[in-house]
Every structure is written in structure tokens, then in C-alpha cells.
């Protein structure tokens, strides 16, 4: 623990030759924290969008219907069932019971309609595997053996939601990409600028015989430490904010919970090594540039 604190304070290595946080130094910490916070938030939302898209895709893409127009011909229904069961991509197929049928039609027909008296088509509910199904092949086979059967994969209903889910996912990635790009830019810039305000110290160290490596090491550790501290702070706050997000969508609703689940919780912590890497590179490049600038 002490050595971690030492590391964060930069006292490891040659950190004591680096002036302690000035106003400009605190900027690195604050920038890393603020940007990590946003990044965690964007990450959590993108993950939720992904799960949401998956949920919508599953719920809707997972089922299809086969309608057999000629009523009261059980052998046709059976033939269709056999075909379905031998089709790759079909997990299960099941004839809809009359009650289920009635429930489906209730909004349009009312609950009291005597369905048994109607020449209603039979419906088979098909559960699809996530790998998809060869719709064309299935249609051809059905047409050959059960001409009165129609396969309906609900795509007409599914399309807009699938679209919405896809777009949500894409926007999530775009926002995430932008946030991370801004994160990298801000951490790099704030590190650079904090470092630039230590130009005098760099010059003095060089004048009294410090090699470039020595100077770079002293500053790189200190600034990377500050950025990591900021990233930890920001990530922590981001996770707290995530926990405050609505967590319990109504059971059976179309919405997933927003916070990640299980191992998903580990993903936001990826922000920390990212920030560390950006800060490390930014410091190194800037120190080296500042050193090259001095003719001394």
C-alpha cells in the first residue's frame, strides 16, 4: 500500500526532483478524473445498448410463425411440423393452442368470439436458433409439400426495432470512440501543459549533469502516477453514478438493466490502464521534446 501511494505520489525513482503539484499539475489529475468519469459512463451505456439490442433481436428474431390456411386439416399441419423439425436453424416448433390463438386475436376480435366456429388457419410457433434460418429454402420446401402453409418470420414487425437496436449500438460505439479520443487528447494535453510549466526545472536538472533518461524517468513516473490517480478517482465516481442509474426495468419489459452484470463490471476498469498508457506516452514525448528544445 505504501509503495502504491509512493508510486502515485511519484516519489518512487527520481520523483523528488519534480516539483510537487502546482495548479497546473493538478490539472492532469482532474482531467484524467473527469474524462475517465465520462468514459466509464459512455462505456456502461454502450454495454447496455449492446445488451438491449441483443434482447430485442432475440425476442423478435427468435420466433417465427407458420400459418396453414386450410383449416381442419391436421395432416397438413403435421407435414409442416415435420418439415420444420428437419430444418436447420429451427430449435423447436409447436402448434398454437386454441387459447393462445384467442389471446393473440383478442385485440381485434374481442375475447368472446367463438373461434372454434371460424375457419381459422392453424398457427405453428417456431423458435429459431440464433444462427438464423434459410428462409428461401424453407419456403420452397413448404410450398412443395404443404402448399397452404406460409412462413412468416415477423420481419415486417421486427425491422424497425432491429433498426433501432442497431442504431443504438452504433451510436454507442461512436459516442464511446469520441469520448475515448477526447480522453486521450485531454490527458495528453494537460500532461503536456503541466510539464511545460516545469521547463525551468528540466533546464536546471540538465545543467547540473542529469542525463535525458534520468529527467524523463522522474517526470514520467510523477505524471503517469497523477493520471492514474485521476483515472481511479474518475472510474470510481463513474461506477457510483452507474449504480445510481435505474436498475430494475419492469419484469418482462423490453428493457435491460443499465448497469453491467457479472464480469461486465470489470470492463470500466479498463479505462485506468488506458489513461496510464496515454499519460505515459504523452509525458515521455513531451519531456523528450522539451529536452531537445534546449540547446544547453
Partner 1 sequence: MIELQNVTQSYGGSALLTDVSVQFAPGSFHFLTGPSGAGKSTLLKLLYGELRPTRGHVQLFGIASTNMARDQLARTRRRIGVVHQDCRFLDHLSLAENIALPLQIAGQLTPADRQNLADLLVWVGLAHRSDALPAELSGGERQRAALARAVMIDPEVILADEPTGNVDWEMAQRLLQLLIELNKMGKTIVLATHDLNLIRAAKTQVEARVLRIRDRQVQLAGASL
Site residues for partner 1 per CB under 8 A: 16-17, 19-20, 200-201, 203-214, 291, 295-296
Decide which of a second copy, partner 1, none touches 203; Cβ closer than 5 to 8 Å per partner kind: partner 1
Distance CA 262, CA 277 (A): 26
Q: Out of 4, 5, 92, 104, point to the residue binding a second copy (CB under 8 A).
A: 104
Nearest distance from C-beta of residue 227 to partner 1, angstroms: 20
Shortest distance, CB of residue 196 to a second copy, whole angstroms? 4
CB-nearer residue toward partner 1: 208 or 263: 208
Closest CB to a second copy among 83 and 123? 123
Q: How far apart are CA 94 and CA 221, in angstroms?
A: 65
3-state helix, strand, coil in the chain (%, to 5): 70, 10, 25
Secondary structure letter of residue 263 according to DSSP: G
Asked if 109 is part of the footprint of a second copy (rule: CB under 8 A), the reply reads yes
Cβ partners under 8 Å of residue 19, min gap 6: 25, 198, 201
When CB distances are held under 5 to 8 angstroms depending on the partner's kind, the choice from partner 1, a second copy, none that residue 189 binds is a second copy
Element (H, E) at 198: none
Q: Are 33 and 237 in contact (CB under 8 A)?
A: yes
- Residue closer to a second copy (CB basis): 23 or 144: 23
Quick one: which of 121, 16, 5 has its CA closest to 66? 121
Q: Mention every residue, 6+ apart, whose C-beta is less than 8 A from residue 95.
A: 77, 81, 122, 123, 124, 125
In 49-134, beta strands by DSSP E: 63-68, 90-95, 122-128
**Which option in partner 1, a second copy, none does residue 250 bind, with CB closer than 5 to 8 A by kind?**
a second copy
Residues that bind a second copy (CB under 8 A): 22-24, 26-27, 30-31, 34-35, 37-38, 41-42, 45, 65, 67, 69, 101, 104-105, 107-110, 112-114, 118-121, 123, 150, 152, 154, 159-161, 163-164, 167, 170-171, 174-175, 178-179, 182, 185-186, 189-190, 192-194, 196-197, 241, 245-246, 249-250, 253-255, 258
Amino acid at each position: 500500500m505504501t509503495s502504491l501511494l509512493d508510486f502515485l505520489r511519484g516519489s518512487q525513482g527520481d520523483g523528488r526532483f519534480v516539483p510537487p503539484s502546482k495548479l497546473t499539475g493538478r490539472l492532469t489529475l482532474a482531467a484524467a478524473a473527469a474524462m475517465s468519469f465520462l468514459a466509464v459512463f459512455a462505456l456502461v451505456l454502450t454495454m447496455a445498448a449492446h445488451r438491449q439490442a441483443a434482447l430485442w433481436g432475440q425476442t423478435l428474431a427468435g420466433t417465427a410463425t407458420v400459418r396453414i390456411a386450410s383449416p381442419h386439416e391436421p395432416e397438413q399441419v403435421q407435414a409442416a411440423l415435420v418439415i420444420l423439425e428437419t430444418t436447420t436453424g429451427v430449435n423447436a416448433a409447436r402448434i398454437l393452442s386454441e387459447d393462445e390463438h384467442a389471446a393473440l386475436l383478442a385485440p381485434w376480435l374481442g375475447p368472446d368470439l367463438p373461434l372454434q366456429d371460424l375457419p381459422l388457419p392453424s398457427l405453428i410457433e417456431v423458435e429459431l436458433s440464433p444462427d438464423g434460418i434459410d428462409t428461401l429454402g424453407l419456403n420452397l420446401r413448404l410450398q412443395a409439400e404443404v402448399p397452404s402453409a406460409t412462413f412468416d418470420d415477423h420481419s415486417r414487425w421486427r425491422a424497425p426495432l432491429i433498426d433501432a437496436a442497431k442504431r443504438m449500438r452504433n451510436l454507442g460505439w461512436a459516442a464511446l470512440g469520441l469520448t475515448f479520443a477526447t480522453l486521450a487528447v485531454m490527458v495528453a494535453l494537460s500532461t503536456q501543459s503541466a510539464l511545460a510549466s516545469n521547463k525551468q526545472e528540466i533546464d536546471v536538472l540538465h545543467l547540473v549533469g542529469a542525463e535525458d533518461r534520468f529527467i524523463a524517468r522522474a517526470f514520467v513516473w510523477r505524471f503517469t502516477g497523477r493520471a492514474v490517480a485521476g483515472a481511479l478517482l474518475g472510474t470510481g465516481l463513474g461506477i457510483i453514478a452507474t449504480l445510481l442509474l435505474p436498475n430494475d426495468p419492469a419484469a418482462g419489459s423490453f428493457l435491460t438493466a443499465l448497469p453491467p452484470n457479472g464480469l461486465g463490471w470489470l470492463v470500466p476498469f479498463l479505462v485506468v490502464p488506458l489513461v496510464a498508457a496515454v499519460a505515459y506516452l504523452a509525458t515521455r514525448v513531451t519531456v523528450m521534446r522539451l529536452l531537445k528544445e534546449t540547446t544547453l
